[in-house]
Each structure stands twice: as C-alpha cells, then as structure tokens.
A = this chain, B = another copy of it.
Amino acid sequence: MMIFKASFMSLLNVSARRPDLHKVNVSNVTEAPVTEDESKGARIRWLINGDDGAPNFLMRHFTIESGGFTPYHQHDWEHEVYVLEGHGKVRYEDREEKIEPGDAILIPPSKKHQFRAGSEQLKFLCIVPK
C-alpha cells in the first residue's frame, strides 16, 4: 500500500509539473568532481539540467584547478564553451590554442578535445545537447 501511495504521489507530481522559470546562482549549485580517467583537478556544476525542464540543451559550469585538465576524449555530440575566468589551452585534434576570458568555442561532434588550466584556476561554461 505504501508503495502504491508513493507511486501515485509520484505520478501526481509528474503530471502537475510544467516547465517554469528556472533560476539558480552558480554559487548555490553543488560541485562534483569530474571522475573520468585522465582528468585532473576538474569539477562540474550542472546549472540547467533535464530535470529543470530544459527541452534541448543543458548548461554546465566547470572549474579546473591550476595545472588541471578535463579528459582528452571525443564523443558524438558538440560542446559550446564560454570562458569566464582564467587562462589555459584547448587541445583539439592535432593542435592547441590559448584560451582566455570572453572566448566562445565550438567543439564539433566527434573531435578530440581537452581543456587545460594554466597557472591559474580556469572557469568556463559548457553547453551540450540534451
């Protein structure tokens, strides 16, 4: 009976839930370590995720400690990145480019990439398809 009640309440919540304004400050979002192999000193905050009602794409915030990096990897979806603070490099296929605040970067699908912090903490947004 308890199980039935819980399921019924869950159903009610789902049916009552409609996409509404979602507003959150980055400082109030819990950070989680990036746990993939070959990453170092990288943390992620999900600012807008699927549970917030986002229909098409999701917004994440990364903090990379000085000397740290995200995995050098590839996947079949794109990244759109905006650098907020710090300097570093984006490694992309067979080359590297410096990145700085105000840089907007598109990593197309299936391209190998990595974000590396320089001598200071690097912060950037990274938007991905849902």
Contact = CB atoms under 8 A, between A and B. Distances in A.
Contacts of A97: 21, 23
Interface in A86-122: 90, 92-93, 97, 99-100, 102-109, 111
B56 A105 contact: no
Contacts of A26: 102-104
Interface of A is mostly: strand
B57 A80 contact: yes
Given A53-B108, A57-B129, A106-B52, A23 B90 contact: yes
Contacts of A107: 21
Given A97-B21, A99-B23, A125-B125, A104 B55 contact: no
Copies in the complex: 2
Interface magnitude class on chain A? 35 or more
Contact of A80 (B108, B111, B127): B127
Contacts of A99: 23
Given A54-B106, A57-B57, A82-B125, 19 more contacts: A19-B106, A19-B108, A19-B111, A20-B108, A21-B90, A21-B92, A21-B93, A21-B97, A21-B108, A23-B99, A26-B103, A47-B82, A52-B106, A54-B80, A55-B78, A55-B109, A56-B78, A82-B82, A125-B125
